[in-house]
């Protein structure tokens, strides 16, 4: 599935038509779609961009604090004696690093709900945009010698598309070790991400 970049015109038209419809004229099959508001807001609101960038700037500050204190860990499942291990940042992919609102705009236009049958072709098309501030944070972490792991509940067959999308946008991926860890990639890697976090 190849979608055009930012289907905003369609989303705005849908939002406008939803707003104009009289409450007395709304039919049961034309119920409000909260995905419209969420998609338009994420794609256009300066508040979304500012909040995202601020969160990643705060992450830089917290990373510096963590690097200065070897006893700091966010992965409590590491147990004892983790202080000598190399530092790593573990990030989700969808809506943390990659913005998938293009897929959501397509769902709205097509009047469909999420489905693996439409999601996987979108993943394979590798056309998600970056979440504001994410690449800058990741590059900052890399500059400090921190390894980046992308742990996602995307299914294992989507790894090639996920890697391509990240690389095309300039996100660093370590080719010497597996740093893109997807659901089902190994037998015990279900939806619980803790099983995939590097120890």
Per the domain annotation, does 182 fall within a domain?
A: yes
Domain boundaries, position 138: 8-195
Q: State pLDDT tens for residues 102-131.
A: 999 999 999 999 999 999 999 999 999 999
The rounded mean pLDDT for the chain is 84
pLDDT score recorded for residue 199? 56
What confidence category does residue 60 fall into, taking pLDDT thresholds of 50, 70 and 90? very high
DSSP H or E segment with residue 65? helix 46-68
Neighbours of 22 (CB within 10 A): 6
Q: State pLDDT tens for residues 176-194.
A: 999 999 999 888 888 878 7
Per the domain annotation, does 3 fall within a domain?
A: no
Q: How far is residue 154's CA from residue 183's CA, in Å, rounded to a whole number?
A: 6
Angle at which helix 34-44 crosses helix 101-110, to 10 degrees, equals: 140
Please give the tally of structural domains in the chain. 1
pTM equals 0.79
Burial class (CB in 10 A: 0-12, 13-18, 19+), 152: buried
What confidence category does residue 139 fall into, taking pLDDT thresholds of 50, 70 and 90? very high
Mean pLDDT for the stretch of residues 90-113: 94
Per the domain annotation, does 102 fall within a domain?
A: yes
Q: What is the CATH number of the domain that holds 50?
A: 3.40.50.1000
DSSP 128: P
Per the domain annotation, does 2 fall within a domain?
A: no
- Residues 6 or more apart whose Cβ sits within 8 Å of residue 163: 173, 180
b/e map of 96-134 (b: 16 or more CB within 10 Å)?
bbbbbbbbbbbbbeeeeeeeeeebbebbbbbbbebbbbb
């Amino acid at each position: 599935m190849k979608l055009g970049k930012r289907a905003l015109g369609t989303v705005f038209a849908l939002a406008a038509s939803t707003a104009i419809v009289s409450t007395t004229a709304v039919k049961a099959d034309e119920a409000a779609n909260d995905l419209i508001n969420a998609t338009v807001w994420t794609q256009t609101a300066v508040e979304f961009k500012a909040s995202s960038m601020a969160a990643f700037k705060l992450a830089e500050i917290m990373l510096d604090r963590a690097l200065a204190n070897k006893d700091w860990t966010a992965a409590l499942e590491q147990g004892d004696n983790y202080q000598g291990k190399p530092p790593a940042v573990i990030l989700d992919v969808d809506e943390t690093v990659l913005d998938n609102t293009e897929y959501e705009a397509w769902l709205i236009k097509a009047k469909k709900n999420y489905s693996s049958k439409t999601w996987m072709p979108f993943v394979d098309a590798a056309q998600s945009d970056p979440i504001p501030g994410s690449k800058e944070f990741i590059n900052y972490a890399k500059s400090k010698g921190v390894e980046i792991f992308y742990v996602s509940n995307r299914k294992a067959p989507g790894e090639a598309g996920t890697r391509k999308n990240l690389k095309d946008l300039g996100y660093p991926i370590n080719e010497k070790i597996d740093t893109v860890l997807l659901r089902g990639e190994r037998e015990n890697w279900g939806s619980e991400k803790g099983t995939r976090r590097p120890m």
